[in-house]
A and B are shown apart, each in its own frame.
Chain A
């Protein structure tokens, strides 16, 4: 049974309109990871997470629900009924039970990123009140008026804060802030860079552990590799950290998608693409595939068959004195 796309999209739009987030989550869910890190709330370099890592356990829970609805016979009818009675948010709240392990891993990713930047001597600030969601999913689905409405608020807040540099942590948020916001809002003139770009520039300053760390393969996310031309940086960093990188058959600018962007339209098709990619990653003989995007992380992990770890966690484990 195919999903009722109209209802899925309505669920997404309503959530963003009501809460600023694509799936229900609290402020604590979004910013709790930063507790105890003593991050200053103001500074020249501002960390903006875009919330994807924090939301992913919830999006993943929703995706699993959608997948079982698509497989079941009643999927469309159930969704339609929920839509008709205006209980979409309730339905979403009911079904979204993120797994504790996923939530903890997302927090570990963000704490690792902060740890890595600090170990490279980069002073960053983080304002939990300013952090939020970029609206990227709305843009990717062509929901332009919803995206514009939401993104304008985010863009204004960032512009008014006026940091020298906004540091992002995932490819989708990096792309939408750097490439899409200026097209929608010509007044938006904030410099945006991924933490991987900054870290690669400061790689010499990081106190890496010595010795070999073994072999890994790298899954380049499409938005870093093709849209932003970022694929050398992760390899440089992994090699500095002592890893031997074995590239899969398709990598760099020709990397192959994890299938994630289709999970809200057709979980079955999305999974098939992910399975194909996992097969390629396994062909390398590496036991761990390094990813750098929360969507890739969730989608490839859902398939299984190979260890999938975020690059921040992998790198942080190889920095002297860094415990996250």
Chain B
């Protein structure tokens, strides 16, 4: 049926316009997040130069994607890591499952949109492995059996009341009647401590990967990424090939810009991971597997990205650093969260990403809900012509 995806999604959206809990949650969050990047730019003017650098780094990927991916894989190998190129979500899941079947569980995961994209957590659970999201928002989404509603704030649709209910009912944790965020965070921290220490495998995403050094850069505030990538004996990175940039300098710039435009700057932690942990303290003999992981695997997921890199205007989406700024500022997303979106990616950036990684048809129909107001273009730190991509997608919505 023509426009069936749009009709189906509109049914949901119209019913959500009266959802008081969603309204309340979005009201609080958007007020806090909106325009934050502008205040940060005023306070830290050098972010402007970093933003330009991040944009250039993205352009470098678009100019020679295969070459940079190859260079990154070679650098990872040189540092005793193991790179994998996964062409499809199935290949990505299989690569992780092969490792997980060897290590066993529990598996601890730090939030990764690409892990969501390939359906990793579900695959691990179906393989009988205990798998836990460790980012609080993503854990709440896991408990809800839902999907992320914002790129950097996945549980943005939930009020504290809902979070309390989920933690109490699904994790069986004791919370006082009117437990606020502090009490919930403390309870979840206690619960996850045991998972971190017993985990055999840690899975993370990546904000960027430096092709010249093979370094994985990860920015965070919760501290869960440090534990996921540092405590278990094996660390798997799962990320899109588009995260590869030419140099370490570029990779750090991308991560810092991501944090600033997400509105969380300075970030509490900036992690740089180049190969598995090692020591050469005894007779200068290098031993891999010191206090951190002894194995590092990097799964670079293609899933339509390399093909999109040759397709104008969709290719510009690959410059995206997933800060979610366009979502905070979009009038449609403001009312719908990621319900306006594909299975993983929503809002302005979600149209392009859904077209690249999931279904062009679906993205094209959903794009008809875009106002064309171009507020997203105005705030994107890497100057992705989001409204042009979306208008191009609209023109695909009417084709047979």
A interface residue numbers (CB < 8 A to B): 2-6, 9, 70, 140-144, 222, 226-227, 253-257, 259-262, 265-266, 268-269, 272-273, 276
Q: What is the minimal beta-carbon distance from A224 to any residue of chain B, in angstroms?
A: 11
Partner of A2, one of B10, B367, B398: B10
B-chain residues with CB within 8 Å of residue A273 when the two chains form the complex: 331-332, 334-335, 371
Nearest B residue to A256, CB-CB: B331
Q: What is the minimal beta-carbon distance from B326 to any residue of chain A, in angstroms?
A: 13
A-chain residues with CB within 8 Å of residue B331 when the two chains form the complex: 256-257, 259, 273, 276
B-chain residues with CB within 8 Å of residue A260 when the two chains form the complex: 371
B-chain residues with CB within 8 Å of residue A144 when the two chains form the complex: 395
Whether B375 and A142, one on each chain, are in contact in the complex, defined by CB atoms closer than 8 angstroms, is no
Tell me, in angstroms, the Cα distance from A222 to B374 when the chains sit together.
7
A-B contact count (CB 8 A): 94
Q: What is the minimal beta-carbon distance from B34 to any residue of chain A, in angstroms?
A: 9
**Contact of B368 with A by CB under 8 A:** yes
Nearest A residue to B392, CB-CB: A142
Whether A142 and B3, one on each chain, are in contact in the complex, defined by CB atoms closer than 8 angstroms, is no
Tell me, in angstroms, the Cα distance from A261 to B368 when the chains sit together.
10
**Contact of B55 with A by CB under 8 A:** no
Whether B371 and A9, one on each chain, are in contact in the complex, defined by CB atoms closer than 8 angstroms, is no
Known A-B contacts A6-B3, A142-B397, A142-B398; the reply to A222 vs B373 at CB < 8 A is: yes
Whether A222 and B396, one on each chain, are in contact in the complex, defined by CB atoms closer than 8 angstroms, is no
B-chain residues with CB within 8 Å of residue A140 when the two chains form the complex: 372, 391
Partner of A142, one of B7, B332, B368: B368
Q: What is the minimal beta-carbon distance from A229 to any residue of chain B, in angstroms?
A: 11
> Which of A2, A4, A143, A254 has its CB near the most chain B CB atoms (within 10 A)?
A2
Q: What is the minimal beta-carbon distance from B385 to any residue of chain A, in angstroms?
A: 12
**Contact of B2 with A by CB under 8 A:** yes
**Contact of B369 with A by CB under 8 A:** yes
A-B contact pairs, 25 of them (CB 8 A): A2-B7, A5-B3, A5-B368, A6-B2, A142-B397, A142-B398, A143-B395, A222-B375, A226-B375, A226-B378, A257-B373, A259-B331, A259-B371, A260-B371, A261-B371, A261-B373, A262-B332, A262-B369, A266-B10, A266-B369, A268-B17, A269-B17, A269-B335, A272-B335, A273-B335
Q: What is the minimal beta-carbon distance from A88 to any residue of chain B, in angstroms?
A: 16
B-chain residues with CB within 8 Å of residue A255 when the two chains form the complex: 375
**Contact of B14 with A by CB under 8 A:** yes
Q: What is the minimal beta-carbon distance from B227 to any residue of chain A, in angstroms?
A: 39
A-chain residues with CB within 8 Å of residue B397 when the two chains form the complex: 142
Tell me, in angstroms, the Cα distance from A143 to B372 when the chains sit together.
14
Whether B375 and A265, one on each chain, are in contact in the complex, defined by CB atoms closer than 8 angstroms, is no
B-chain residues with CB within 8 Å of residue A226 when the two chains form the complex: 373-375, 377-378
A-chain residues with CB within 8 Å of residue B10 when the two chains form the complex: 2-3, 265-266
Whether B367 and A265, one on each chain, are in contact in the complex, defined by CB atoms closer than 8 angstroms, is no
Tell me, in angstroms, the Cα distance from A4 to B7 when the chains sit together.
7
Q: What is the minimal beta-carbon distance from A55 to any residue of chain B, in angstroms?
A: 19
Whether B395 and A142, one on each chain, are in contact in the complex, defined by CB atoms closer than 8 angstroms, is yes
Tell me, in angstroms, the Cα distance from A3 to B6 when the chains sit together.
10
Whether B13 and A266, one on each chain, are in contact in the complex, defined by CB atoms closer than 8 angstroms, is yes
Nearest B residue to A273, CB-CB: B331
B-chain residues with CB within 8 Å of residue A222 when the two chains form the complex: 371-375
Whether B394 and A257, one on each chain, are in contact in the complex, defined by CB atoms closer than 8 angstroms, is no
The secondary structure that dominates the A interface is helix
Tell me, in angstroms, the Cα distance from A142 to B370 when the chains sit together.
11
- Within B280-303, the residues touching A (CB, 8 Å) are none
Q: Please provide the 3 A-B residue pairs with the shortest distance between their CB atoms, ordered closest to farther.
A: A142-B394, A142-B395, A257-B373
**Contact of B393 with A by CB under 8 A:** yes
Tell me, in angstroms, the Cα distance from A262 to B332 when the chains sit together.
10
Tell me, in angstroms, the Cα distance from A261 to B391 when the chains sit together.
13
**Contact of B42 with A by CB under 8 A:** no
Q: What is the minimal beta-carbon distance from B365 to any residue of chain A, in angstroms?
A: 9
Tell me, in angstroms, the Cα distance from A203 to B119 when the chains sit together.
61
Q: What is the minimal beta-carbon distance from A74 to any residue of chain B, in angstroms?
A: 15
Nearest A residue to B364, CB-CB: A142
Tell me, in angstroms, the Cα distance from A272 to B373 when the chains sit together.
16
Q: What is the minimal beta-carbon distance from B5 to any residue of chain A, in angstroms?
A: 11
Tell me, in angstroms, the Cα distance from A280 to B118 when the chains sit together.
41
Whether B375 and A256, one on each chain, are in contact in the complex, defined by CB atoms closer than 8 angstroms, is yes
A-chain residues with CB within 8 Å of residue B14 when the two chains form the complex: 2, 70, 266, 268-269
Instruction: Please give 15 more A-B residue pairs, beta carbons under 8 A apart, in addition to A142-B394, A262-B369, A269-B332.
Output: A2-B7, A2-B10, A140-B372, A142-B398, A222-B372, A226-B378, A257-B371, A262-B371, A265-B6, A266-B369, A269-B13, A269-B336, A269-B369, A273-B335, A276-B334
Q: What is the minimal beta-carbon distance from B398 to any residue of chain A, in angstroms?
A: 6
Tell me, in angstroms, the Cα distance from A222 to B369 when the chains sit together.
16
A-chain residues with CB within 8 Å of residue B393 when the two chains form the complex: 142
Known A-B contacts A5-B7, A5-B368, A276-B331; the reply to A143 vs B398 at CB < 8 A is: yes
Tell me, in angstroms, the Cα distance from A316 to B37 when the chains sit together.
40
Q: What is the minimal beta-carbon distance from B258 to any residue of chain A, in angstroms?
A: 21
Tell me, in angstroms, the Cα distance from A256 to B331 when the chains sit together.
7
A-chain residues with CB within 8 Å of residue B332 when the two chains form the complex: 262, 269, 273
**Contact of B182 with A by CB under 8 A:** no
**Contact of B11 with A by CB under 8 A:** yes
Tell me, in angstroms, the Cα distance from A255 to B368 when the chains sit together.
21
Q: What is the minimal beta-carbon distance from B362 to any residue of chain A, in angstroms?
A: 14
B-chain residues with CB within 8 Å of residue A2 when the two chains form the complex: 7, 10-11, 14
Nearest B residue to A265, CB-CB: B368
A-chain residues with CB within 8 Å of residue B364 when the two chains form the complex: 142
Partner of B398, one of A3, A9, A265: A9
> Which of B335, B371, B379 has its CB near the most chain A CB atoms (within 10 A)?
B371
Mark contacts of B220-250 with chain A using CB atoms, 8 A cut-off: 1 yes-contact digit, 0 otherwise. 0000000000000000000000000000000
Tell me, in angstroms, the Cα distance from A70 to B7 when the chains sit together.
12
- Within B1-35, the residues touching A (CB, 8 Å) are 2-3, 6-7, 10-11, 13-14, 17, 35
Q: What is the minimal beta-carbon distance from A178 to any residue of chain B, in angstroms?
A: 15
Whether B394 and A141, one on each chain, are in contact in the complex, defined by CB atoms closer than 8 angstroms, is yes
Tell me, in angstroms, the Cα distance from A94 to B13 when the chains sit together.
30
Whether A253 and B378, one on each chain, are in contact in the complex, defined by CB atoms closer than 8 angstroms, is yes
